[in-house]
Amino acid sequence: MSYKNYLIFDLDDTILDFKKGEQEGLNKIFKKHMVPEVRFDQWLPIFQRVNGRIWSRIEEGASAKELLETRFSKTYQEFGIEKDGRLLESEYRSYLDQNFFVLKGAKEMLEQLKKQNFQVVAGTNGKSSTQRSRLKGTGLEPFFEDVVISEEIGYAKPHQKFFEILMDRNKGMKTQNTLMIGDSLRSDIQGAINSGIRNIWFNPFKNENATEIIPDFEVATFEELQQIIELNSGIKQNSK
């Protein structure tokens, strides 16, 4: 390579299995704070709807901390119950901090990219303590040259400022030698488009793209992802 090739990876549901840890954490919350005559599978969609609206506001630039501390109180209000949202958020966060689930094949892919001298950076929305605890607990921390977290820098994807700060911190990174990889069209892919960075939509469940956001590439497996990365960096597949 005549110059370094940079890869920005989202973490949740791109490298780390956030959904599995989320389900486990929410189950614990519900068991401890049960709603009379309501099952978990009835409570969960309400939380998901409330949480989805909150994250949409965060991605538009609203304060993450203040909003996240309301998601449980607003969920329980739907059932006519008042709860301390800040207390439940802290409890839930303690469960998420111990979410050490990794998507199958992610570690092996990162090992291979490291051998090929890619400069791998994590660019993620979320809480600093949670993301750093999970990277350390999974043993994936050494694979990343830098970890950029929305809470630490004050901007969340898809805000262009998130990517400006990330690129300023990694001096060799340019739009022409960088790929953004993530599972979210609205935060990862739209953010990359806003910043002129080529992008790969990681879509393992083969969800339909019902948005107007058009990724440069779409893959469903880590094998496909690695092939696209190599083809777009001038690195040939290692046949050994």
pLDDT, one tens digit per residue, over 137-192 is 999 999 999 999 999 999 999 999 999 999 999 999 999 999 999 999 999 999 99
User: Does residue 240 have a pLDDT over 90?
Assistant: no
The span from the CA of 188 to the CA of 156, in Å, is 10
- Percent of the chain at pLDDT > 70 equals 96
Q: What is the mean pLDDT of residues 220-232?
A: 96
The catalytic residues are 10
Pick the more confident residue, 1 or 169: 169
Question: Is the preceding omega at residue 158 within 30 degrees of 0, hence cis?
Answer: yes
Condensed to tens digits (0 to 9), the pLDDT of residues 10-64 reads 999 999 999 999 999 999 999 999 999 999 999 999 999 999 999 999 999 998 9
13 residue type, one letter: D
Tokens for 163, please give them.
Answer: 């990517």
Condensed to tens digits (0 to 9), the pLDDT of residues 73-127 reads 999 999 999 999 999 999 999 999 999 999 999 999 999 999 999 999 999 999 9
Q: What is the mean pLDDT of residues 187-209?
A: 97
**What pLDDT does 233 receive?**
82
Strand partners, 102: 16
Average pLDDT, the chain: 94
Q: Go through 36-62 and write b for each residue having 16 or more CB atoms within 10 A of its CB, e for each that does not.
A: eeeeeeebeebbeebbeebbeebbeee
Strand 6-9 vs strand 178-182: parallel, antiparallel, or unpaired? parallel
The span from the CA of 226 to the CA of 133, in Å, is 26
Q: Give the angle 40-66-88 at the CA atoms, nearest 5°.
A: 35
Global pTM? 0.90
**Domains along the chain with CATH numbers:** 6-17+102-231 (3.40.50.1000), 19-96 (1.10.150.240)
